[in-house]
Each structure stands twice: as structure tokens, then as C-alpha cells.
Amino acid sequence: MSRKVSMLMALLVVVTLLASACQPTPQVVKETVPVEVTKEVVVKETVPVEVTKEVVKEVPVEVTKVVEVPVETKPGADPNRVLNLYAVQHAMCAWDSFWCTVEEGIRRAADDMNVNVTILGPDKFDLERVAQLIDQAVAAKPDGLMVTVTDPDLFREPIQRALDAGIPVVAYNAGAGPIEDKIPYLTYLGQDEYQGGYQGGLRLAAEGGKKGVCINQQVGHTGLDKRCKGFVDALKEKGIPAEVLAISDDPASSQTVISDYYTANPDTDIFLTLGPNGANPFYAFMDAAGLKPGDIKHGTFDLSPEIIAKIKDGTTMFGIDQQPFLQGYGGVMMLTMVGRYGILPALPVTGTGPGFVTKENVDFVVDPNRPVNIYLVQHAMCAWDSFWCVVENGIKQAAKEMNVNYTLLGPDKFDLERVAQLIDQAVAAKPDGLALTVTDPDLFRAPIQRAIDAGIPVIAYNAGAGPIEDKIPYLTYLGQDEYAGGYLGGLRLAAEGGKKGVCINQQVGHTGLDKRCKGFVDALKEKGIPAEVLAISDDPAASQTIISDYYTANPDTDIFMTLGPNGANPFYAFMDAAGLKPGDIKHGTFDLSPEIIAKIKDGTTMFGIDQQPFLQGYGAVMTLMLKVRYGISPALPVTPTGPGFVTKDNVAVVEALAGTYR
Amino acid sequence: MTRRVAAPKPRLRSWLESPVAGPLITFLLIFFLLSFVPNFLTMRSVSGIVNAATLTGMITVGITLLMIAGEFDLSAGALMAVGAFLYGGLTMNGSPPLVALLMALIIPGLLGAFNGLLLVWTGIPSFIVTLGTQFIYRGALWVYSGGIMLQTVQQIPIYDVFNGRMDFIADLIKDANFRTALLWLLGVVFLFQYILTRTRFGNHVFAIGGNPGAAKAQGVNVNRTKVICFIISGVLSGFAGVLLFSQYKTAKIATGAGEELKAIASAVVGGALLTGGEGSIVGALIGVMLISMLRTGIILLNLPFIPADNFEAVVGVTIVGAAILNNWIRSRA
């Protein structure tokens, strides 16, 4: 028997030796099949922002600020490039204090990222003047432009001129996203109103309740209606009936309306107000009715001295902040990502709010110079998986720019038990923040909870599904929004119409892949194009024939979506065999591979969707830094880093930076 | 079949007794039915059916051999991935193509030998042994590759040798996109059909599958024969990986996952018995083609109540149906 065992061992040794003689390979592709755990879709709706924050004071003179000395720049994406950016906004710190916070965000980001930003704004509320300033900014040929899209119709032409000149444009504070505004800028950074109402509702209903009411001072205002809809949806999800109560501008009559409603519905115990104008009569009602903090639950949008006092005394659970600092900081960050790495914002709307101001953080003191020590724990390392080098470069770059000290922990091989131990190790070091990959929520739940209990801000990156689906109350998950990837990809493919679409899914039943297909099908249906899912397998030969057969049976199919190299590969073989040329049909895919990059270049494939791992690492550090120094919390349970679309226009940049930044 | 002296009825009877009869009748029956499906009888569909069957077909040959010997190899899919990785990695490295090919055949072969030795030395059923080793092999591959997917866009002549387009046929007949992998598959099928029916080794395979005790008593080295069958299955799985990489130039950890079950299904449809002692390589090839043909037929039917993502169920039903029909024909013969 021992002879047999030793022979088996010898055989294994031979195999190992032979195998190790064959060296591992040069050209590699990392598939980004999404983690099986699902991710909630956050691309809810785009949001019109209440523009009128202005308290117009008479401070004349057009303010033009130059942050840092301008430096000569060269065109094209370059990681070391010094960028010259312009920000054009409809109001200024000089005459509206709200904007001081936005401008502070811009300035801090410019400092951190070593870019130059020139802020232009009118000396009083004057949108015609703002339109002129946009043209003025475009004439300066900046590397990026951020604009408050206060009036999309008025600004459409000047912004379009900027885009035509090849200048990347993002909107901040005011806007509704490129789709609703009908201007193809990159993204809008502002509050996601629906999510504000929804998440506020979830917080208010966390401990149950009998009945909820959303007190709306301006029914018919899209933004306010969205807040109420989110609130009502959240409560209904928790099984609590909820409705909207309309009040008016008159505080006295509003107080009476609230009081009468409460008399008629005495079991109402959850109240949401949509700003100081609603909170003010609400507090008066509470006072008159003799209601004490704790009798009912109240949350509100926005902050005022009165609201802050009520948060402190426990009457109000939270005030929802749109986090204007983040609008400025994030705008500069995104334009820097575009200019240096060709990394694009993932969604048409990038939520900067809701940020929740509660009893715990209402007294937060901002300190831009506060030292930040963070820990990051991930399930794989650059040392043994090249995909992670890009993530780690993002971490390194952000830490350097923002002056953050970080410690990166990871196992020396794929070993989730070990990762769980490393999380505990990180918690024991009492860092100011912790970022980790939630590869296995069940296994990591206990260690992550220990970190949260110790008061450490925790975020997830690359792997996870968001705090709600993972059932771990961390702040946010930075990763690809799979549904949005399929949906936005579908919109692109269907932009010029089409007859029939098919989503080629190599693993039906995989939640992440199914979401990609669902997004695609929804987008096409929205455009009136029928679409369905075609299941293929791991066997490329069988898959090729399945696609071919499907095409034979459905010869009018002209829009194809594949979910990664595994689907794209037999698809290209099918095209080849069927004699289809670039232009005969439209094809988009998730992820990149040498083959996909070649096909994007020759026009066969319209785009490859990238999860932008650099941004996952960079964003993780930035998010924790913003939390520690500025008290800014991520707005949404999922902070999308992808889809980032790689097209013929930017494929060269992506290829050049592949492996380091892309 | 060449014995013209036999009377008509016994000749038919003896033909029906051959293991190919059941699958062939089923195949022809389904082919006849599907020929009414629009676009089914086109060169595009026919070449598609054949191409889709090449990879599974290659594995099925080894699996069928083992099933005749009364054993299973669930690690075949994993060995296919091993073969694809070695061949792909080495050719991409610029190693001599012949070395790449040999490594992609030898290492899966040795791993197949490991399966066989574990079986004969421990006495654990091969179903269990290979159920375990498939995870071991895939795990080892994971470590070896670092979990990354392999892909290239370079074009090396050897790729065309193993799975290139046969343009001269496509030029002659429109849409006849046959590939060289088909020739390799046919070559392997006829080689093993010959070995199985015309050599002493083939006799031994049938003998140990049908009645191991009797075979041993007759002086057949049961263990050695089984280990050789496992080696063959390993080598052919590795070769399937070579064919795969040659056309698609891509390999990943999950390559070949589930391929072994499709191969077993094909072998069963092709007349092999799960209990061993019966089956045929040509029958198995018919089985593979039958399943491939059905899938194509169902997709082409474009039935509104069978969405594009659920034709597998119909294929499954038919596998069971074909097996029942085979048994019925066998019992009537």
C-alpha cells in the first residue's frame, strides 16, 4: 500500500513539475462576472433641483477666482497631467453663503488633486449672464468644465459648444441629468430626491409604526413630489400605510391643516417634512398639541437653526442634507478622472445627497487638516492577481493626493476565512476608517459589525451588494451597477432604432448577469424594440451554434448584447461564420479583453462596459477621507463606479493605461 | 453487414442488436421530424450542428470507452480546462507549438492515470473518485493560472491545424462553415471504434465492463485496462481543450464545466449502458449529434411558449425519451 501511495505522490510530483515548466501567461483578461450577491439599482430617477437657494445680497463685481497658478498642459489622457478646469455657476459665495460650501469643495479638491480651477459666476442672479460665462469658459479651452444647469433650455447651446470642442462637461448642484436635460454632458452631481425620501422613510420606519404622512408644502413640484413618493414607497415596503398631506405657504393655516389631519388620524406616528417651510409649522403643531419628543417620529429635508435645535433635543430624527461640499469636490474629482485616466462617471445622475444629519453628527467639526489613518482589507492582492493592481493604484494615488495614511491587508491566496481575520486585525488597530471587499456577507457580517460597533466608518468596494442587501449597516458599496450597465448600454445600442434585440447570457440564473440583461431588455422595450434573453453555455462551440440558430430563426435581430468575453467570444465566431460585417448589426458587451478591444477598434463592437476598478480604490479612500475630515456620508447604498463605456473614441486611452489605471 | 449469406430477417435482427441501431433510428426519426422546421435543412444549420458537437464529441469518445468498461470520469470537463490552459498558455508564450500540444495531452493523461490508480488501488467507485478529483484539478488550475482568464488575438498556424476554417468547402457550398476540428473528431471516433471492435484491448474493455469477475478469470488484467481507459479519457479531454483554444483562443477556470455530464448524456443516448459492457463510439457520436441537432431545431422553431433562454428543458426531455426508446428497441431486438 505504501508503494502505491508513493507512486501516486510521484505521479502528482511529475504533473506539478511539468505544469510549472509551462510558465503562466502574458496576456490576461480579468472577467468581471459580478458577485453573485445582488445589488440594488440606484438609478432611480433624475432630479430637478430647487434652484432658488439664493438670498440675493448686493455684492457687485463679477467674481473670478483662480485657484493655483495655471500650468501648461498637453491634450489626451495622461496620468501626470496638470489640468485646467473651469466651473461656471449661477450663484457665488460672495453673495449667497450656500455657495461658500460648494466653492470650498472645489478648492479643496483642486488642492488635493493638483489641478487648477477657475470659478466663474455672475454678480447677481442672472441666467443670461451665466450662459455668456459658459461661452467665456469654453473660449479658454479648458480640460474640463463644470456647470450648474439651472436652465437647460438656455444653457443647451453653450454647453453643446463645449462638448463639440471636446471638453468634458459635468453638471453640479442644478440640473436633471443628461437624459432629462437633453444635453449629452457626462453626469449631474446633486441630490437624488427620491432616494432622500426613500432612505428617510426607511430610517423613520426602522422601528415600525402605525401610519406615516409626508407633509408637502408645494404639491406638483417634481422634486418635492419625488421626495414624498420615496417616503411613501419605503413605508409601504415596511407594511405601514402612508400618504401625502398638502400644506401651503401660510404657516398658520399649515399648522392647522397638520393639526386637523392628526385629529382625524390620531394613529399617525411618522412625519416627514420637506424643508424648513414644512418643519416650521410642524413644530408649532407639536407644541400646540403637547406632543413631546418620542411621542412621534419626525424627519425633514434640509437644515435650519430651528431644525438643528430639534435634532439636538431629539424631536427630529434627521435633517437631509444635499451635501453641497461634495457637489464641488466631486465635480472636480470626476473631471480629473476623465482628464487623467479616461475614467467616466457611471450614471447620468451622481447622488451627492441625501446626507443624514442626526443627533450623532450634528455637532461634527470640519477639519480639512485632520490626520486620516485608514485600513483596507481585500480578498485578493496585486501580488497574485493582476486585476487588483489597478485597484491598488487607485488607493495609492488617492492616498498620496489627499494625504491619507493607509494600510492595505489581504491574504496571500484566495482565503475568505483569512480575510475575516484580517478585518478583525484592522479593527483592533482602531483606524479612522475601514474599507473592505464584502466578498461573503455572511462570513464577514460579524467582523464588520464589530468595526461599526467600535464607531469606525466602514465602506465596501469591488465586492458587495450594498448595506441593505448584504444586511450589514456599512455606509456604501463602491462597484458596478449591473442593471444600469445593461440599461444604459441598451439605450446606446437602440439610440438609432432597431428591429429586435437579444441579450446573450452565458449563465442564466446568476443574479448579476440577469440584472444586466434585465436592464438591456427594459431599455429596448422603452424604445419600443422587442428584446429577449438567449441562454448560451460554457461551451463556446455550442454557444456559437446557439447564437447562429437564434439568428436564423430571428433574422431581423440587429441589436446584440453580450455580458463579457465569454459571451463575446462565440458571438464574434458566429459573426465570422455568418459573414456579418461591422455595421450589419449593433453589438455591445460588458468587460474588455484583447479580442473585444480589437473589435471596438474595427467598429464591430460599439462599446465595452468597464467597472473602472481604479475608481473603486480611489473612491474608497476619498469616501473615507471626506467622512473623517468633512463629515460627509455617501448618499446612496450603492455608489456606482461603473458602467464606464469604452468606445472607439477612448479605447486607445484605455489600452494605453491598461493594467495600471484601467 | 457484408455477410450476404444471411437470411433477410436474421440480418435485420442482428443489425437491430448492434448498439448503433437504437441511436441511429432515433436520430433519423428526429431528423425527419425536424426537417419540416424552417431553415433546418440549410448548410448553415447543418454545419452549426456539427460544429457545436465537436468539443463535447471529443470528450464523449473517452467517456463512452470508460462507460463500456463500467466506469465514469466526471473530471473530464476539468481536464479539458487543463488542456486548454496549457496549450493556450504555452502557444501564447511563444513555446514550440508541438511542445504545447504534447503538454496539453500528457498532463491531462497523467491526471487521468491518477484517477485510474486511485480507483484500482482504493476500490472507491470511479463516480466518487472523479467527483473529487474534478474539484482538485480545477482548484489546481486556479492556483496555476492565478484565477485569470486567458485570451489572445494572435493567429498561430497551429490553431488552424486543429480548429481552422475549411474555406474551400465554404467556397464551394454557401454557408457550409465546417472546421478542421470535425476531421480530428471523425479521426478519433473511427480510431477508437476500430480499437474497440477490432483489437484485443477493445475486447478486454467490453469484458471488464460486462463481467469483471469472468474477465479476470479469463486472464484479463482488469486494473491495467481500466487505468489505460482513464488515461485515454484524460488525453482526449486535453485534446478537446486544444480544439477549443484553437478556435476561440480563450480559456478560463470554468471552461468545460458540465461538459462531462453532456458527454455522459450523449453516450447514453448513443446506446451505452450505465452498468457497463455495452455501447459504441459511433453510437455516442450519433448521440452527440442528436442532442446538438435537437437544440438547433428547437431554437429554429422559435416557439413563443419556449423562450430563447429555456430550450434546455426540451433537450432534457428528449434525452430521457431517447434513452427509453433505445431500451425499447434493444428489448425488441
| B292 Cβ under 8 Å from any chain A Cβ | yes
Task: Examine the pLDDT at B116 and tell me if it is beyond 90.
Answer: yes
Counting one residue from chain A and one from chain B, the pairs whose CB atoms sit within 8 A come to 190
Nearest-Cα residue of chain A relative to residue B136: A12
User: How far off is chain B from A154, nearest CA to CA, in Å?
Assistant: 47
User: How far off is chain B from A321, nearest CA to CA, in Å?
Assistant: 43
Q: B149 has which bridge partners?
A: A29
Q: Which three cell numbers stand for residue A460?
A: 465596501
| A31 Cβ under 8 Å from any chain B Cβ | yes
| A577 Cβ under 8 Å from any chain B Cβ | yes
User: A223 and A127, same structural domain?
Assistant: no
Task: Examine the pLDDT at B16 and tell me if it is beyond 60.
Answer: yes
User: A78 and A178, same structural domain?
Assistant: yes
Instruction: Say yes or no for a CB contact (<8 Å) between A11 and B114.
Output: yes
- Give residue for cell 478469470: B217
User: How far off is chain B from A560, nearest CA to CA, in Å?
Assistant: 14
Per residue in A121-135, pLDDT (tens digit) is 999 889 999 999 999
Per residue in A3-35, pLDDT (tens digit) is 777 777 778 777 777 777 665 444 444 445 554
Contacting residues of B for A386, CB less than 8 Å apart: 146, 148
B311 touches B299 (CB < 8 A)? yes
Task: Examine the pLDDT at A204 and tell me if it is beyond 60.
Answer: yes
Mutate to test the interface with B, among A9, A13, A22, A503 (most CBs of B within 10 A): A22
Per-residue model confidence (pLDDT) at position B9:
52
Q: Is A163 exposed, middle or buried (0-12, 13-18, 19+ CB in 10 A)?
A: middle
Query: What residues contact A308, with CB distance under 8 A and at least 6 apart?
Result: A319, A357, A362
Rounded mean pLDDT, B30-39: 90
Rounded mean pLDDT, A414-423: 91
Task: Examine the pLDDT at A504 and tell me if it is beyond 90.
Answer: yes
Query: What residues contact A1, with CB distance under 8 A and at least 6 apart?
Result: B121
Query: What residues contact B56, with CB distance under 8 A and at least 6 apart?
Result: A539, A541, A542, B240, B259, B262, B263, B266, B288, B291, B292
Query: What residues contact A87, with CB distance under 8 A and at least 6 apart?
Result: A106, A117, A118, A119, A120, A145, A146, A147, A172, A328, A331, A332
User: How far off is chain A from B324, nearest CA to CA, in Å?
Assistant: 25
Nearest-Cα residue of chain A relative to residue B101: A22
Q: Among A502, A552, A594, whose Cβ lies nearest the Cβ of B39?
A: A552
Per-residue model confidence (pLDDT) at position A251:
85
Note whether residue A648 is domain-resident: no
Per-residue model confidence (pLDDT) at position B302:
79
User: A465 and A493, same structural domain?
Assistant: no
What range defines the domain where residue A334 resides?
A: 63-186+324-346
Per-residue model confidence (pLDDT) at position A43:
28
Per-residue model confidence (pLDDT) at position A59:
36
Greatest pairwise CA separation for chain B in angstroms: 64
Per-residue model confidence (pLDDT) at position B11:
65
CB contact residues (below 8 A), chain B span 13-42, against chain A: 38-39, 42
Per-residue model confidence (pLDDT) at position A27:
44
Per-residue model confidence (pLDDT) at position B307:
64
- CB neighbours of residue A135 within 10 Å: 14
Question: Length of chain A in residues, anyone?
Answer: 662
Percent of chain B residues topping a pLDDT of 70? 92
Give B131's pLDDT tier (boundaries 50, 70, 90).
very high
Per residue in A172-196, pLDDT (tens digit) is 999 889 988 999 999 999 998 899 9
Task: Examine the pLDDT at B3 and tell me if it is beyond 70.
Answer: no
Instruction: Say yes or no for a CB contact (<8 Å) between B149 and A384.
Output: no
User: A171 and A98, same structural domain?
Assistant: yes
User: A455 and A488, same structural domain?
Assistant: no
The secondary structure of A503-523 as a DSSP string is: EEESSTT-HHHHHHHHHHHHH
Q: What share of chain B is helix, strand, coil (3-state, %, to 5)?
A: 75, 0, 25
Q: Which three cell numbers stand for residue A147?
A: 456647470
Q: Among A30, A508, A553, whose Cβ lies nearest the Cβ of B299?
A: A553
CB contact residues (below 8 A), chain A span 586-615, against chain B: 593-595, 598
Q: How many domains does chain A have?
A: 4
Task: Examine the pLDDT at B117 and tell me if it is beyond 80.
Answer: yes
Note whether residue A634 is domain-resident: yes
Q: Which three cell numbers stand for residue A514?
A: 440577469
Task: Examine the pLDDT at B133 and tell me if it is beyond 50.
Answer: yes
Task: Examine the pLDDT at A67 and tell me if it is beyond 60.
Answer: no
Q: Among B48, B146, B250, whose Cβ lies nearest the Cβ of A569?
A: B250
Domain spanning B38-332: which CATH class is it, in words?
A: mainly alpha
- Among residues A564, A566, A568, the alpha carbon closest in space to that of A590 is found at A564
ipTM of the complex: 0.81
Note whether residue A592 is domain-resident: yes
User: A499 and A395, same structural domain?
Assistant: no
Per-residue model confidence (pLDDT) at position B320:
86
Per residue in A529-541, pLDDT (tens digit) is 999 999 998 788 9
Task: Examine the pLDDT at A62 and tell me if it is beyond 50.
Answer: no
CA distance A103 to A146: 12
CB contact residues (below 8 A), chain B span 183-242, against chain A: none
CB contact residues (below 8 A), chain B span 130-169, against chain A: 140, 142-153
Q: Among B111, B147, B299, whose Cβ lies nearest the Cβ of A15?
A: B111
User: How far off is chain B from A27, nearest CA to CA, in Å?
Assistant: 7
State chain B's mean pLDDT as an integer.
87
Give B6's pLDDT tier (boundaries 50, 70, 90).
very low
User: A503 and A457, same structural domain?
Assistant: no
Task: Examine the pLDDT at A556 and tell me if it is beyond 60.
Answer: yes
Pairing of strands A477-480, B250-251: unpaired
Note whether residue A22 is domain-resident: no
Per-residue model confidence (pLDDT) at position B4:
44
Note whether residue A202 is domain-resident: yes
A643 touches A42 (CB < 8 A)? no
Note whether residue A354 is domain-resident: no
Per-residue model confidence (pLDDT) at position B2:
42
Per residue in A117-169, pLDDT (tens digit) is 999 999 988 999 999 999 999 999 999 999 999 999 999 999 999 999 999 99
Instruction: Say yes or no for a CB contact (<8 Å) between B252 and A566.
Output: yes
Instruction: Say yes or no for a CB contact (<8 Å) between B86 and A31.
Output: no
Per-residue model confidence (pLDDT) at position A39:
31
Give A217's pLDDT tier (boundaries 50, 70, 90).
confident
CATH number, domain containing residue A284 = 3.40.50.2300
Rounded mean pLDDT, A491-514: 90
Percent of chain A residues topping a pLDDT of 70? 91
User: A487 and A582, same structural domain?
Assistant: yes
Nearest-Cα residue of chain A relative to residue B39: A552
Percent of chain B residues topping a pLDDT of 90? 50
Sign of CA dihedral A174, A179, A181, A187: positive
Cite the DSSP H helix spans in A165-271: 177-181, 193-204, 222-237, 251-264
CA distance A360 to B24: 77
User: Quick one: which H or E segment has residue A147?
Assistant: strand A144-147
Mutate to test the interface with A, among B39, B54, B153 (most CBs of A within 10 A): B153
State chain A's mean pLDDT as an integer.
87
Q: Is B187 helix (H, G, I), strand (E, B) or coil?
A: helix
User: A244 and A303, same structural domain?
Assistant: yes
Instruction: Say yes or no for a CB contact (<8 Å) between A542 and B296.
Output: no
User: A580 and A460, same structural domain?
Assistant: no
Instruction: Say yes or no for a CB contact (<8 Å) between A573 and B114.
Output: no
Note whether residue A405 is domain-resident: yes
Task: Examine the pLDDT at A68 and tell me if it is beyond 70.
Answer: no
User: A329 and A315, same structural domain?
Assistant: no
Task: Examine the pLDDT at B55 and tell me if it is beyond 60.
Answer: yes
Per-residue model confidence (pLDDT) at position B13:
67
User: How far off is chain A from B263, nearest CA to CA, in Å?
Assistant: 12
Q: Among A384, A538, A542, whose Cβ lies nearest the Cβ of B52?
A: A542
Per-residue model confidence (pLDDT) at position A63:
40
Per-residue model confidence (pLDDT) at position B10:
58
CB contact residues (below 8 A), chain B span 85-114, against chain A: 86, 88-90, 92-93, 95, 103, 106-107, 110-111, 113-114
Strands across the sheet containing B149-151: A28-29, B149-151, B250-251
- CB neighbours of residue A194 within 10 Å: 24
User: A208 and A311, same structural domain?
Assistant: yes
